[in-house]
């Protein structure tokens, strides 16, 4: 699909898009928001990440499970669908989509209630975070979403544990094609500015020509609005650069004309 940006205003779209996205790259910036169940939209463009295809709808099997470095723990994650079956057992992970299990003792620790997840940028990475509380300890799971268009099967990996009770954070990576941002059409901020620019330009040209023709009785090249100004513009720009250049070199050389005055 060919987007508006690539057809009409590649340059304007690119420059505006770049300036906007650079400004949203700061660590901790929200960068996006949850727009529906397991659906997240970026602030600066019309793309979403939709994890719904990764949901396991039976509520009894965790979609992902991975062992931690301490052999007795494993980490369970099921995007979009809490593990209903655990609820009846008054299990800490009853409303959770992320859970830590102590295998031998069969103890569960909630790593993330649903649907209270946060969708954030950490540098250029997209991070989904959940939190839950078990036994007075607040456990947060941070899942970095890695877009991999070529992966047939999604992979969930354990990265590290940081912090101590009562605040512990567990970091994971989810690599999948579902983690890739998908365009939902519509217009980005850059495109809207671009449209405004084009509309203003057209109105200016049409109104200018009409005014010159009917109010001033102009013909031919005289119809161009503010013709004298536009004709002079290149030399005005050139003079501007020359002036700036002279100023800058004046800062470095002692015998510039400004020092002599
Ligand atoms: C939209 O913005 C996000 C965050 O800056 C970026 O990761 C994603 O690739 C962008 N999508 C497109 C299509 O540019
Ligand atoms: C856990 O702590 C984080 C950060 O302070 C907070 O945002 C979150 O609401 C807490 N979660 C629970 C379940 O208490």
Ligand 1: which of 13, 42, 180 to mutate, judged by most atoms within 8 Å of the beta carbon? 42
Task: Give me the mean pLDDT over the 185-212 stretch.
Answer: 86
Q: 131 in ligand 2 pocket by Cβ < 6 Å?
A: yes
Q: Which structure tokens are listed for 25?
A: 């790259």
Q: Quick one: what percent of the chain has pLDDT higher than 90?
A: 44
| Largest separation between any pair of C-alpha atoms in the chain | 93
Say what the pLDDT of residue 13 is.
45
Structure-model confidence comparison of residues 255 and 75, the more confident one: 75
Q: Which structure tokens are listed for 32?
A: 């996006």
Written as one string, the DSSP assignment of the chain is: ---HHHHT-HHHHHHHHHHHHHHT-STT---EEEEETTEEEESSSSEEEE-GGG--TTSSS-SEEEE-SSTTEEEEE-TT---HHHHTTT-TTTTEEEEEEETTTTEEEEEEETT--EEEEETTEEEEEEEEEETTEEEEEEEEEEE-TT-SS-EEEEEEEEEETTEEEEEEEEEEGGGS-EE--S--HHHHHHHHHHHHHHHHHHHHHHIIIIIT---GGGGSTTHHHHHHHHHHHHHHHHHHHHHHHHHH-TTSHHHH-
Query: Which range has the worst mean pLDDT, 55-64, 68-77, 175-184?
Result: 55-64
pTM over 0.75, yes/no:
no
Q: Which ligand is nearest to the CA of 111?
A: 2
| Closest residue to atom 13 of ligand 2, CA basis | 132
Q: 138 in ligand 2 pocket by Cβ < 6 Å?
A: yes
Cα four-point dihedral sign 13, 14, 19, 20? positive
Asked if residue 125 lies in contact with residue 144, where contact means CB atoms within 8 angstroms, the answer is yes
Name the band, by pLDDT with cuts 50, 70 and 90, for residue 58.
low
Please tell me the distance between residue 235's alpha carbon and the centre of ligand 2 in angstroms: 61
Name the band, by pLDDT with cuts 50, 70 and 90, for residue 189.
confident
Mean confidence (pLDDT) of the chain: 82
Please tell me the distance between residue 47's alpha carbon and the centre of ligand 1 in angstroms: 7
């Amino acid at each position: 699909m060919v987007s508006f940006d690539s057809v009409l205003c590649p340059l304007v779209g690119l420059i505006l898009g770049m300036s906007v996205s650079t400004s949203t790259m700061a660590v901790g910036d929200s960068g996006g928001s949850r727009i529906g169940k397991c659906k997240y939209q970026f602030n600066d463009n019309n793309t979403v990440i939709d994890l719904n295809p990764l949901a396991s709808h039976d509520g009894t099997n965790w979609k992902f499970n991975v062992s931690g470095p301490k052999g007795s723990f494993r980490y369970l994650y099921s995007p979009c669908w809490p593990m209903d079956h655990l609820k009846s057992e008054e299990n800490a992970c009853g409303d959770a989509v992320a859970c830590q299990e102590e295998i031998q003792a069969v103890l569960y620790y909630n790593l993330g209630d649903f649907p209270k997840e946060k969708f954030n940028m950490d540098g250029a990475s997209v991070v989904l975070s959940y939190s839950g509380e078990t036994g007075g300890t607040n456990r947060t799971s941070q899942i970095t979403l890695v877009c991999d268009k070529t992966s047939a099967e999604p992979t969930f990996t354990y990265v590290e544990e940081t912090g101590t009770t009562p605040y512990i954070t567990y970091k994971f990576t989810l690599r999948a094609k579902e983690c890739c941002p998908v365009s939902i059409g519509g217009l980005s901020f850059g495109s809207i500015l671009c449209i405004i620019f084009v509309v203003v330009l057209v109105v200016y040209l049409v109104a200018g020509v009409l005014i010159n023709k009917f109010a001033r009785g102009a013909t031919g090249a005289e119809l161009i609005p503010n013709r004298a100004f536009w004709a002079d513009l290149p030399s005005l720009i050139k003079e501007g650069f020359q002036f700036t250049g002279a100023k800058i070199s004046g800062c470095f050389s002692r015998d510039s004309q400004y020092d002599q005055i």
